[in-house]
Amino acid sequence: MATCLTLPRALRAAIPAGALALALAGGAGAQGTLSALQTDVDQIARRARPSVVTVFAVRTESAPKTAVAATATAPHVRTRVGSGVAVEENLILTTASVVLQAERTLVSTANGLQAEAEIVGVDPVFNLALLRVPTLRLPPLRFAQGRPARVGDWVVSLGTSYNAQPTQSLGNVAQRHREPGQWLLQLTNTVYPGNSGAAALNIRGELAGLVHGELGSPALTGTASDGERRPWGTSFAMPVETLRPVFESLKREGRVRHGYLGVTTLAASLESDREGGPSTPIGALVDGIIGGGPADRLGLRPGDLIVAYDGERVETPEQLARWVLATPPGRTVTLVWVRRDIGYNGTVVLKESPERVPQWLAGALADPQPDGPRKIAELEREIRRLSQELGRLKDQSGPPPR
Amino acid sequence: MNCGDARRLFGACWDDEITLAERDWLESHFASCAACRAEYETFARAIELVGSLPRAEVRPGLAERALARARRATAAPDRLPVGTPRWIPITATAALLAIAATMTLQWMGITPAGRMTPRTGVAAVLEPVLVRSQDARTTASTVPDDRLATVRGEADAPFAGGVPDSLFDHSADVEFILDPVTLRKGRAHTVLRLNPNVQGEKAVITF
């Protein structure tokens, strides 16, 4: 009987001790989890680092004319530095912004090798470039398999920055941004100058995306008073589901085939009621129609205001143009436009853009036109717009009284 | 491990809930076992198909009602226990002994083989190699870090003023690229480099 009474009492005393032991064991477990996380991240980075390279794009440019020196000074060499990822033994993906207009491109590997690279293809719409390095054999990174990256997935970004030093950060997918024709992942990883073209790896060490950049304009955000750009904290990467088709197209043809609508557009906006208030962009105003193009077949006319494309609200012509270019030719899209305050919609099959790189997107490739012809073209457009407006007002007011 | 072990990992593999070592093992198993590879592909297709099915709408509160019914069906009879079963103190004592043993082992630095210890048997890391020498600079197949800056700064190097050698001390002729991305109304896109002739509100774009 005494034994029966003593045992439950001992058990009661043992319960707090057991709870303490469990808490301590839990702490050790948490430490083990962190240690495992560190081990996994180290392993992913160690395996992938040899596939990440530094890209140097060199170009000679003439110095701009200044007030002091009326004539341009001697040309000097400018170097753009970014990161790149080996996706095949001698093929490297990077961003178009790194190699745009480069006369010579070189890559430097993590183990100190340097070699000349040739540009296989550049696409400014998707901001991607493919380089070939015939003299190097690189360990390629595998494109991510399985489901697309989801919000919350862990991402390890590997790139290079100043002095070609490696950079690495751990973060998550914060958001997935969708636009017609492409996706962009918003990451919590910190990225650094020179990280354009860096690798975004998933927890399996596969290439989940290619880092493009960070939030905001370099002239505004993350820039200290001395002009030095500081890490900002929100980064963006092109996910593999957008990256892979572009890579395959660049590899196969050296180019990406873009959609074509056959319109010329102007910006349209509503002015604020307040004096000096901000104007609100309201769509893409059709300025001209290319005969025989998809827009012509759809029945669009100059003066129409395109307000939606493929279910997405259009605010600016540049936005619409980007979406059209990112859509593969042959795809059927829906357009919504407004003509004399009446809404219309219709579907059309996009054609293939006749230009490899659209002229308006050619960056600083083309020399600026002289002021004269540009001014004349602007005036002609203004006259055309005023004539259309006058015609519309005349139609609304009806025939003149006798 | 065998095919059965591999198939037990399928669900966790699809959900990215397996360790790198398990993934390595699974992939090496797939390489040698076509049946398991085919089984996994079928499994993945099935999951994708199920995911693409339209979601059936049910009346609100169905889950709560079902759970409540299940609880009622399995609830113990509403009466006081007659006595304490004998196995409870024995199990509790055994559990305490097991916890004490685990803590002692950890304190002694002995951990079970697994996540706490560095993994062995992982694939070797491959390094870039030179296929054929291109010029004098690239023949230096492995340049020590301390010599790297010197090599890059050679007089014939294409870099303006040599590659910068410190974080905040770099030449104005070297630009480190990090593209700006705009975020507006929940949409993000990389800022495109426009032709200078088409910038501004009066820009005319043909596409």
Query: Collapsing DSSP states into helix, strand and coil, what is residue A395?
Result: helix
Out of A14, A115, A358, the one facing B96 most closely (by C-beta) is A14
Paired residues of A342 in beta bridges? A339
CA distance B16 to chain A (A): 8
| Cβ(A21)–Cβ(A36) below 8 Å | no
Nearest chain B Cα to A371, which residue?
B197
Tell me the HSE value of A95 on the side-chain side, using a 13 A CA sphere. 31
What does the alpha-carbon distance between residue B160 and residue A13 come to, in Å, rounded to a whole number?
A: 76
Contact B142 A97 (CB under 8 A): no
Neighbouring residues of A136: CB distance < 8 A, sequence distance ≥ 6? A90, A107, A109, A113, A115, B128, B129, B130, B131
Residue type at A334? T
Out of B126, B148, B149, the one facing A139 most closely (by C-beta) is B126
Supply the pLDDT for residue A157. Answer: 96
Residue A221 reports pLDDT greater than 50: no
Mean pLDDT of A49-63: 87
Mutate to test the interface with B, among A7, A212, A359 (most CBs of B within 10 A): A212
Nearest chain B Cα to A356, which residue?
B207
Q: Residue A198: which of B178, B57, B73, B196 has the closest Cα?
A: B178
Residue A284 reports pLDDT greater than 70: yes
Greater confidence (A327 vs B85) lies with A327
Nearest chain A Cα to B133, which residue?
A135
Supply the pLDDT for residue B139. Answer: 39
CA distance A398 to chain B (A): 32
Residues in A closer than 8 angstroms to B151, CB to CB, are 114
Residue reference for tokens 């083989």? B113
Mutate to test the interface with A, among B13, B190, B199 (most CBs of A within 10 A): B190
pTM of the model: 0.65
What does the alpha-carbon distance between residue A320 and residue A305 come to, in Å, rounded to a whole number?
A: 12
Supply the pLDDT for residue A116. Answer: 93
Query: Collapsing DSSP states into helix, strand and coil, what is residue A243?
Result: helix
What does the alpha-carbon distance between residue A1 and residue A12 come to, in Å, rounded to a whole number?
A: 18
Nearest chain B Cα to A182, which residue?
B189
CA distance A394 to chain B (A): 26
The ipTM, to two decimals, is 0.73
Neighbouring residues of A104: CB distance < 8 A, sequence distance ≥ 6? A57, A58, A59, A116, B158
How does residue A225 score in pLDDT terms, banded at 50, 70 and 90? Answer: low
The phi-psi region of residue B37 (left if phi > 0; otherwise alpha if psi is between -120 and 50; otherwise beta) is alpha
| Cβ(A180)–Cβ(A157) below 8 Å | no
Paired residues of A77 in beta bridges? A60
How does residue A227 score in pLDDT terms, banded at 50, 70 and 90? Answer: low
Greater confidence (A375 vs A99) lies with A99
Greater confidence (A371 vs A296) lies with A296
Is B28's Cβ below 8 Å from some Cβ in A? no
Nearest chain A Cα to B145, which residue?
A112
How many CB pairs lie under 8 A apart between chains A and B?
308
Residue reference for tokens 């009474």? A5
Contact B192 A124 (CB under 8 A): yes
Residues in A closer than 8 angstroms to B149, CB to CB, are 163
Contact B195 A147 (CB under 8 A): no
Supply the pLDDT for residue A146. Answer: 82
Supply the pLDDT for residue B74. Answer: 74
Contact A366 B197 (CB under 8 A): yes
Tokens of A316: 């600016």
Residues in A closer than 8 angstroms to B163, CB to CB, are 56, 81, 163-164
Greater confidence (A331 vs A383) lies with A331
Nearest chain B Cα to A77, which residue?
B160
What does the alpha-carbon distance between residue A281 and residue A283 come to, in Å, rounded to a whole number?
A: 6
What does the alpha-carbon distance between residue A259 and residue A329 come to, in Å, rounded to a whole number?
A: 4
Query: Collapsing DSSP states into helix, strand and coil, what is residue A186?
Result: strand
